[in-house]
Structure 1
Amino acid sequence: MEFISATGEERYAALVRVAADSVIGLDLDGTLSPIVDDPSLARIHPDAGEVLVELAEHVAAIAIITGRPARQALALGGLDDVGNAIGEMGKELYIFGQYGNERWSSVNRRVISPRPPHGLASFLLGLPSLLRRADAFDAYVEEKGLAVAVHTRRLPDATAAFERLLGPVSELAAANDLTVEPGRSVIEVRAPGTHKGDAVHTIAEELSTRGFMFAGDDLGDLEAFAAVEELRQSGQATLLVCSSSDEQGALLRRADVSVDGPEGVLDLLRQLSRDAASARL
């Protein structure tokens, strides 16, 4: 764990003091699970479940806020069992899927989801010819129900393919009243409106939090960072954590703490558990 903001250490200490009334928000890919070439094969870090259950004892709630569909996050992370264990101690695990458009919790174990945006079907019809023109026909297209993700990581030059695709994909999305969310070698297309920051505000308001931590790794987490900064302005203890990579520096410039990928995130959560337990003695 490396404190990178001038007040990062103070913010961590303030969060520890109000841990019992705080929410720990976490992205999934790149934060709790390693980034892999095939997103369908991504798995949560094998130690994550145990760490989350231990942490839940010391905080108000844990919220996983991800671009993945909620059901997929549950399956890839074994989070149903994690939710059971957290529920047994009287705490709650939340999953906000598809950037907050979907919601699941260990108490209300049903995924609440809106209908797909109207323009998504038209976007999908136009996507193959767009990929051909951009010399990226082999890009992996992931249909998420409420969104479509175009992954370039498998292509020979993932960065160049991403840069070729971002403009045309953005234009096709705009023509269908959709919005674009760039990430690490992925371009996500979804309905405008709801984003990760909305999920942060929703759970902070529902639980009347005094503190909020969020850890993320790419551009899709910027709205969550902004929402936590707004909570900070209202007087809450907050901590922003960047699960670092060479691919994305935007979060690093706004973070209080930098950690080395999922291993570093889990080390931070373990430390937070220890410090919060000590603070209660």
Structure 2
Amino acid sequence: MSGTLPTPTTQAGKEGLDALLARPGKALIGLDFDGTLAPIVADPERARAHPEAMPALAALAPKVAAVAVITGRPAEVAVRNGGFADVPGLEHLVVLGHYGAERWDARSGEVSAPEPHPGVAAVRTELPGLLEGSGAGQGTWVEEKGRAVAVHTRRAADPQAAFEALRAPLTDLAARHGLIVEPGRMVLELRPPGMDKGVALSEFAREIGAGSVLYAGDDLGDLPAYAAVDKLRSDGTPGLLVCSGSDEVTELRERADLVVDGPEGVVRLLRDLADRLG
């Protein structure tokens, strides 16, 4: 069933939505994956796109300039977990994995990427000893992300306490090997500098000559993309900031033009946009 498009709460957001609807062929739809297209789960390897996400994207993508899924995951993992490959209608979709360091194009089905940062391998070697001696408690675990590594605390007895206990030692470890720490929802990711969703979004928007940009995210790692949309707006490109609602992260809610009810709300928004543009 088609719904009514929600109204952004800010003037800038209203202008962004109006521009998207007026010239959809120049619009870029940027989307985070975990927490935005896929519900957050305790084991990230089990994360899958909302079951209605692919139909909504397949309906919307042909009507806009491009859809870009921008994620910290490896591009191939996001493609697999999202079910993006070989979907009719998604020829305009790209996945910018590892914050844009990797790129998968639906048209070719291929991934392009530079060589990994050597600091990631060094950090990977030292992490087990650091975690064992940290006193952060059982339940913390390491996710291998190829060009980055992430330490999760969601399974710990006290996830927030474990998160805070690990933040400083992981920051020191990252700095010794030329990396940075990106905090998220009960996760600390160690990755090379210069990789963030804002850079990825800005470069892709410039590449396709976007006339408007919608970006939806749910976590601290999406703040650089929010900043990129703010910069685009100040330079004359209308934009709409959407928050996939989370009680764990308030910063995005406070900066968003529109807050929706998690991945289900994001999917509903995408479907309603497709219907309106149909």
Q: TM tier, shorter chain? A: over 0.9
2:81 counterpart of 1:76: yes
- Cα contact 1:148–1:188 (8 A) shared by 2: yes
- What is the aligned counterpart of 1:41 among 46, 55, 69? 46
Q: Bigger shift: 31-40 or 187-196? A: 187-196
1:85 counterpart = 2:89: yes
CA contact (8 A) 1:119 1:178 kept: yes
Q: Which amino acid aligns with 2:144?
A: E
**Which residues of 2 match residues 1-281 of structure 1 at below 5 A?**
1=6, 3-82=8-87, 84-87=88-91, 92-136=92-136, 137-277=138-278
- For the residue of structure 1 that corresponds to 2:86, the secondary structure is helix
- Sort the Cα spacing of 1:2 and 1:210 in 2 relative to 1 into closer, same or farther, 3 A: closer
How many residue pairs align between the two structures?
Answer: 272
SS at match of 1:111: strand
Q: What CA deviation, in whole Å up to 9, does each residue of 1:33-79 have, x standing for no partner?
A: 00000001111111110000001122111100001100101111111
Question: After alignment, is 200-209 or 129-138 more displaced?
Answer: 129-138
CA distance in 1, matches of 2:135, 2:144: 20
Structure 1 position 109, deviation (Å) = 2.0
Percent identity for Structure 1 against Structure 2: 49
Q: Secondary structure at the match of 2:30?
A: strand
d(CA) in 1 for partners of 2:61 and 2:121? 40
Shift of 1:14: 2.8
What is the deviation of 1:130? Answer: 1.8
- The CA deviation at 1:227 is 0.9
Q: Residues 267 and 189 of structure 1: is their aligned pair in 2 closer, same or farther, counting only changes over 3 Å? A: same
How much is the aligned-residue C-alpha RMSD, in angstroms?
1.5
Deviation readout 1:179-208 (Å, 9 max, x if unpaired)? 111111111111111211121112111111
Contact 1:18-1:237 at 8 Å conserved across structures: no
Aligned residue in 1 for 2:3: none
For residue 213 of structure 1, give the secondary structure of its aligned residue in structure 2. strand
Instruction: Verify the 8 A CA contact 1:196 1:224 in the aligned structure 2.
Output: yes
Please say if residues 17 and 276 of structure 1, whose CA atoms lie closer than 8 Å, have aligned partners that are also in contact.
no
**For residues 203 and 33 of structure 1, what CA distance do their matches in structure 2 show?**
22
Deviations, residues 219-246 of structure 1 (Å, cap 9, x unaligned)? 1111111111111112112100011111
Cα distance between partner residues in 2 of 1:123 and 1:11: 41
1:169: how far off?
0.6
Between 9-18 and 21-30, the greater mean CA deviation after superposition: 9-18
Q: Separation in 2 of the partners of 1:133 and 1:12?
A: 50
Classify the secondary structure of the residue corresponding to 1:215: strand
Q: Is the 8 A contact 1:243 1:261 kept in 2?
A: yes
Instruction: Give the superposition deviation at 1:132.
Output: 2.0
Separation in 1 of the partners of 2:261 and 2:96? Answer: 24
Take 2:200 and 2:62, find their aligned partners in 1: how far apart are those partners? 22
* 8 A Cα contact 1:217 1:242, kept in partner: yes
Check whether the contact 1:2–1:258 (CA below 8 A) recurs between aligned residues: no
Gaps of 5+ in 1: none
Shift of 1:133: 2.6
Task: Decide which moves more: 117-126 or 242-251.
Answer: 117-126
Distance 1:249 1:2, change over 3 A: farther
**TM-score with structure 1 length normalisation?**
0.92
> Equivalents in 2 of 1:4, 1:149: separation in Å?
35
Partner SS state of residue 247, structure 1: coil
The one-letter amino acid paired with 1:131 is L
